[in-house]
Structure 1
Amino acid sequence: MTTATIKVILVDDHAVVRAGFKMLLASEAGIDVVAEAERGEAACQLYLQHQPDVLVLDLSMPGIGGLETIRRICLRDSQAKILVFSVHDEGVYINRAMNAGAKGYISKSSAPSVLVQAIQTLAAGGSYWETALNKNLPEADSEMDYKAVVERLSTREFDIFLLLAKGLTVQKIADELCLGYKTVANYGTQIRSKLQVSTVAELAHIALVLGLMGSEGL
């Protein structure tokens, strides 16, 4: 009995990281990396072109970013099998990926075998949420007001909130996300209004309290 090959697309903005993933998966019988991309925009096009069994992507990328990539692909294909492979293991990231439509989430610090197992599980129609990350999922009845507000931010607002909290200027954010200066400035105003703060320092404090300011950055 022959087992069908699992077609995979890798999406990460670091070429060295993609090369490492590709080498790992190439050594695994039954998995074929059919394409790779460094930005979400390209990932959306490649997904339509190759119709992979599983798309593996990082959340932190220039352009539209990982969360928006997940959302766009799932809007086009509700059965898309997307596995997030990220340095971020905070609950808010896991929840947002889940809500966007991802079928699995594992940490880049996982053993190589975990990536392989996750891909195989998704390809078979299952979901894979790394056990070690379960402790990071927020409680459903959380009483942290800031957390609730951040959870309700749109994908674009969330991205800009994190970049502002990291200290990037409006112009730098506009350049990184390929948006207009005024657009980013307006988003910043909306975000500060929703969180009822007036300074970037306050945004940074909120991000720090929520565990979103890890050493890896965005």
Structure 2
Amino acid sequence: MRNFLLIDDHEIVRAGIASVLSELFKPSNIYEASDEATAIQRLKERPYDLIIMDVYIPGTDSFGLMEYIRAQYPEFRVLIFSMSAENIYASRFLKAGAKGFVSKNSGLAELKKAIDLVLNNRRYISSDLAEHLASGLNDKNSTSPFEKLSGKEFEITMMLISGKTTTEISRQLGISTSTTGTHKARIFTKLGVKNLLELVEMGNAFNLRKQ
């Protein structure tokens, strides 16, 4: 019997995915989490054949959660199912260990295809994302400026955009405020912004959602 974990703050989304999984896999156990704390607790309880999670979950560092899953449970397969900008987030989460990225704008058939591929230890990316990644190889100007950032810098960028202070970021990541300040300075330099307002405006321009 397969075990699935759904991490999404919208109950109706979890119910919809659960319905799809129940139809495809009989019998199966489906567990849910609406926030980071609950997700971590669920992860500790049992092994999972597949984890389906959103990028944008209020109060949750989803990128950090993805890295936590990869570090603590490398055998767990993760499929990202999100409304967040595919061209910005997909490559980040795939590099962090996710096996696939599906837009919530995709049809049911596409979601089923992604689930099947990931469960069979294969990767899934949409045709649009594949085209975007391919064009990025040939056109350096076509990629997002956020691609210049390291994983840690991108994580801190998302926290800054969400309104977290240097102290809050340091506490959440378990690093000193001076280290956070150094990361922040590097982020501003790499992105060519002078202050937090410009960073937020750039984030809005590239459809980075506040978390």
Q: Same fold (TM over 0.5)?
A: yes
List alignment gaps of at least 5 residues for structure 1. Answer: none
For 2:136, the equivalent position in structure 1 comes to 139
Aligned 1:24-173 pairs, distance under 5 A: 24-30=20-26, 32-137=28-133, 139-140=136-137, 142-144=139-141, 147=144, 150-155=146-151, 157-162=153-158, 164-165=160-161, 169-170=163-164
State the identity %.
Answer: 26
In 2, distance between residues paired with 1:45 and 1:154? 28
Report the TM-score when normalising by structure 1. 0.74
Give how far 1:141 is off: 5.2
User: 1:8, CA displacement in angstroms?
Assistant: 1.0
- RMSD across aligned positions (CA): 3.4
Q: Which has the higher helix share?
A: 2
Q: Distance in 2 between matches of 1:7 and 1:169?
A: 36
Aligned to 1:212: 207
CA gap of 1:145–1:189, structure 2 versus 1, over 3 A, is farther
Give the distance between the partners of 1:185 and 1:98, measured in 2 at CA.
25
The residue type paired with residue 88 of structure 1 is S
Change (3 A) 1:127 1:31: farther
Q: Does residue 1:15 correspond to 2:8, yes or no?
A: no
Deviation at 1:145, TM superposition (A): 10
Determine helix, strand or coil for the equivalent of 1:129: coil
Cα deviation, residue 179, structure 1: 7.5
Counterpart code for 1:140: L
User: Within 2, Cα distance between the matches of 1:75 and 1:125?
Assistant: 18
Query: How far apart, in 2, do the equivalents of 1:145 and 1:78 lie?
Result: 32
1:56 CA displacement: 0.5
SS of 2:24 mapped into structure 1: coil
Residue type matched to 2:126 in 1?
E
Q: Following TM superposition, by how much is the alpha carbon of 1:190 offset from its aligned partner in structure 2, in angstroms?
A: 4.7
SS at match of 2:5: strand
Query: Where does structure 2 lack aligned partners over 5 or more consecutive residues?
Result: none
8 A contact 2:78–2:99 mirrored in 1: yes
Q: Deviations over 1:101-141 (max 9, x none)?
A: 01111111111232223222211222221224323336135
Per the alignment, in what secondary structure is the counterpart of residue 137 of structure 2? coil
Give the TM-score taking structure 2 as reference length. Answer: 0.76
> CA contact under 8 A between 2:33 and 2:39: conserved in structure 1?
yes
Which digits, 9 at most, give the CA deviation of each residue in 1:51-75, with x for residues without a partner? 1111100111234422222211111
CA distance in 2: counterparts of 1:160 and 1:77, whole angstroms: 23
Counterparts of 2:91 and 2:75 in 1: how far apart (Å)?
A: 19
Q: Give 1:52's aligned amino acid.
A: Y
